[in-house]
Amino acid sequence: MISLLAFVIIILLIIQDLILNLLLTFNFKSYIQPREERFPKISILIPARNEAHNLPSCLEALDQLRYPKDSLQIILGNDNSEDSTGDILKDWSKKRSNVSYLEIVGAPNNKMNGKANALHQMCEEASGDLYLFTDADCQIGPEWASSMVEAWNKQKPGVVTGITTVFEKGVFARFQALDWWLTLGMVKIMDDLGIAVTSMGNNMLISRSAYNAVGGFAGIPFSLTEDFEMAKQVKKNGFDCIHLVGPKNLILTKGQVSFEDLMAQRKRWMSGAMALPWVWKLLLGLQVFFFPAMLYFVFLFPFEGIFIWLMKVLIQGLFIYRFAFKTGIKLKWHDLLLFEIYYALISWSTIVYYFWPSKTKWKGRKY
């Protein structure tokens, strides 16, 4: 009975990976259209908490942004930083007429997490028809804003989710990047099927009308993953949500520097994942339970087990490679093969860490 269950889990995951590859080939929606000379007023919002070491590259990238200055507003928020973040943001904003600096004050209640509170106050100052969000540890490309706006122009959705990858050197960072490619690849596939799963706060566009319809960040239920909850509420209010994946809207972010930091990040993400529809939970469950099922099968049938496992790694690797290539990124095949070890370790460590009775640490705050 156990052998049969293990075999079923293994086959289901391989079928899932095959379907992901097929859908990536035949159902990928690019939202690319002939460029329209339409530049609605946009507000770019970037909250920062203790990000002094990341701000130089973030702000330099903002300076390279290609979008009409008279249609562009940038709001930088200092969220009670304990380093020189505030001074850096304040000095940078003084030299640019379309940039505003905001000191974030504490939330009046516990309905919002720290970042949601910062974004709520920043959105109160926003004058754009579209709000674009990214983080201080990210680097946008010159065409980021215009590509996100082009996708919005085509369908007028409530939310446009972009694509993000970890860009730092080192094995640990590269494996985190592969994890992002795999997860966001599945999110994109589901989204193109009409099943909107989530959005990402470091690469997200929300229309003013959709934002107001849900009451903003102050109007959504409390969540440690405010981007996930925002997309969920926007969808619930009848707006479409689309996922744009391409080289122009790719954002680079920094990975977690230690295993402990990575687990803290995943514990927060898991709080959002637990609210996902059952279909998505089933997909995640297959990913996690594949490993003990595969190890059991290899123990019983070593040759057949290793062959099937290698086949799964190749099919999964093909999906990750092809998905990343949609943004112009070429991954290394030896990383894709070794990624399986990392993925098994992180998947089960995340489960254990999530249910471990401890608070979630995020940006120096505990929840």
The domain spanning residue 193 has which CATH number?
3.90.550.10
Environment class of 338 (CB within 10 Å of its CB; exposed 0-12, middle 13-18, buried 19+) = middle
CA 104-108-110 angle, 5° bins: 105
Residue 200 half-sphere exposure, CB side, CA atoms within 13 Å? 23
The pLDDT value given to residue 209: 98
Question: Does any domain span residue 179?
Answer: yes
- Give the model's confidence band at 62: pLDDT under 50 very low, under 70 low, under 90 confident, else very high: very high
Residues 202 and 299 in one domain: no
Span of 76-90, 107-121, 332-346 with lowest mean pLDDT: 107-121
Q: What per-residue confidence (pLDDT) applies to 37? A: 67
Q: Where are the beta strands (DSSP E) in 126-194?
A: 130-133, 138-139, 159-161, 163-166
What mean pLDDT comes out for the span 161-183?
95
In this predicted structure, the answer to whether residue 56 has a pLDDT above a threshold of 90 is yes
Q: Domain limits at 7? A: 2-28+275-358
pLDDT value at residue 108 = 67
CB atoms near residue 112 (< 10 Å)? 23
Query: In the listed set 228, 260, 292, which residue is the last one of a domain according to the structure?
Result: 260
Kindly state whether residue 134 falls inside one of the protein's structural domains: yes
In a domain, 234, yes or no: yes
Same domain, 234 and 283: no
Pair 172, 289 in one domain: no
Specify whether 97 is located in the same domain as 207: yes
Residues 318, 231 within the same domain: no
Among 192, 225, 260, give the residue marking a domain's end.
260
Does 294 fall in a domain? yes
Residue 198 has what pLDDT?
85
Q: What is the mean pLDDT of residues 47-67?
A: 96
Residue 363 lies in a domain: no
Q: What is the mean pLDDT of residues 130-144?
A: 97
Residue 10 or residue 195, greater confidence: 10
Q: Measured in Å, how far apart are the chain's first and last C-alpha atoms?
A: 42
**Count of domains forming the chain:** 2
Same domain, 135 and 15: no
- Same domain (yes/no): 207, 349: no
Res. 166: pLDDT tops 90: yes
In a domain, 255, yes or no: yes
**Same structural domain, 67 and 171:** yes
Q: Are residues 150 and 190 in the same domain?
A: yes
The candidate with the shortest Cα–Cα distance to 122, out of 221, 49, 200, 61, is 49
Which of 22, 78, 23, 71 minimizes the C-alpha distance to 49?
78
Both 243 and 213 in one domain: the answer is yes
pLDDT above 90 (res 351): no
Model confidence at 35: pLDDT above 70? no
Domain membership flag for residue 36? no
> What is the radius of gyration, based on Cα positions, of the chain?
21
Reply yes or no on whether the pLDDT at 205 is more than 90.
yes
Q: Is residue 328 part of a domain?
A: yes
Residues recorded for the chain:
367
- 218 with 317, same domain: the answer is no
pTM exceeds 0.75, yes or no: yes
Lowest average pLDDT, out of 80-89, 217-226, 272-281, goes to 272-281
Query: Are residues 78 and 182 both part of a single domain?
Result: yes
